[in-house]
Amino acid sequence: MRVERGPPKQTISLPVALRKDRDMSEIAPQNRRIRPAAIVVLFLTIALTGCLLALGTWQVQRLFWKLDLIERVDARAHAEPVDAPAASEWPALGNPSDYEYRRVKLTGTLLNDREVQVYTVTDLGPGYWVMTPLRRDDGSSIIVNRGFVPSDRRDPSSRAGGEPTGNVGIVGLMRAPETGGLFLRTNDPANGRWYSRNIPQITQASGFSDVAPFYVDADATPNPGGLPVGGKTMLTFPNNHLSYAVTWYILAAMVVAAGWYVLRNLNAPKSKRDAD
């Protein structure tokens, strides 16, 4: 018996390139799956970039604050002097930033026997600020920083010519009291060692009340005998906030670039990572 056979089966052979593309499409999703390490890197990149941008923005805010401060201080320090606040006005002075560096004038009698010397270092070398209460006609007192004396002239008897008696007039700048800080040593009133112009402490040590909550830096008007040397108020302020802001922003950009580079390599197909 004769068996008839059908037509031979035809085998369709895909081109090599098409098979390769099909195979790659099957494994691509597995190779491109987001890895846990990539999530961590992304989170750290976002967090660190946010912190750096915040620091840069804070420095920009500080820059405008400093520019405003410099402008206000310059305007106050070079204005025509006004009468120093009367005792009745002291409670309304408010924040020191509202009055500090205001140019004022005052008259009264210097209580030279109550002066306090506060250690300092200036462009003239180490020495002392001479802090002397000035008693006004209304009975109130304002402590005046009359200026600088070198260490070897600390004793008032060595500069008797600079200790005026009677009614005197003084022009100077209102200053807020120094209440201490990281770089100031602690005052020792009992032993007469002063390192900050802390008005409440000086007032208490002097033994009298009704003293202004501020003090006045005397201007550069020469004193008899040449001492103390007034006009040593520092009116320049460091202003590096712009460079700090630029630095923080550059660091933020570097973090973004580094994060992108790491994520790009983590999410690349395994074959590409092996090739790299």
- Tell me, what's the pLDDT at 148? 96
> Distance between CA 232 and CA 130 in Å, rounded?
12
Read off the pLDDT of each residue in 104-110 and give the average, rounded to a whole number: 96
Q: Among 42-46, 204-208, 212-216, which stretch is predicted with the lowest mean pLDDT? A: 204-208
- Tell me, what's the pLDDT at 264? 85
Q: State yes or no: cis peptide before 228, omega within 30 of 0.
A: yes
What confidence tens digit (pLDDT) does each residue in 219-244 have? Answer: 999 998 899 999 999 888 889 999 99
For residue 184, pLDDT beyond 50 = yes
pLDDT band at 176 (very low <50, low <70, confident <90, very high): very high
Cβ distance 166 to 184 under 8 Å? no
**What is the b/e burial string over 228-252, where b = at least 16 CB atoms within 10 angstroms of the residue's CB?**
bbbebbeeeeeeebeebbeebbebb
- Tell me, what's the pLDDT at 180? 66
Question: Domain locations in the chain?
Answer: 36-79+237-276, 102-226
The pTM assigned to this predicted structure is 0.72
> Distance between CA 234 and CA 232 in Å, rounded?
6
Among the four given CATH numbers 1.10.12, 3.40.50, 2.40.50, 1.20.140, the one describing domain 102-226 = 2.40.50
Q: Which has more pLDDT, 179 or 228?
A: 228
- 63 residue type, one letter: L
Percent over 90 (pLDDT), the chain = 58
Torsion-angle region of 104 (φ positive above 0: left; ψ -120 to 50: alpha; else: beta): beta
Beta-carbon contacts of 167 under 8 Å, excluding residues fewer than 6 positions away, are: 107, 108, 109
- Tell me, what's the pLDDT at 225? 86
Read off the pLDDT of each residue in 128-155 and give the average, rounded to a whole number: 94
Cβ distance 99 to 214 under 8 Å? yes
- 239 residue type, one letter: N
- Tell me, what's the pLDDT at 34? 65
What confidence tens digit (pLDDT) does each residue in 51-82 have? Answer: 999 999 999 999 999 999 899 999 999 999 99
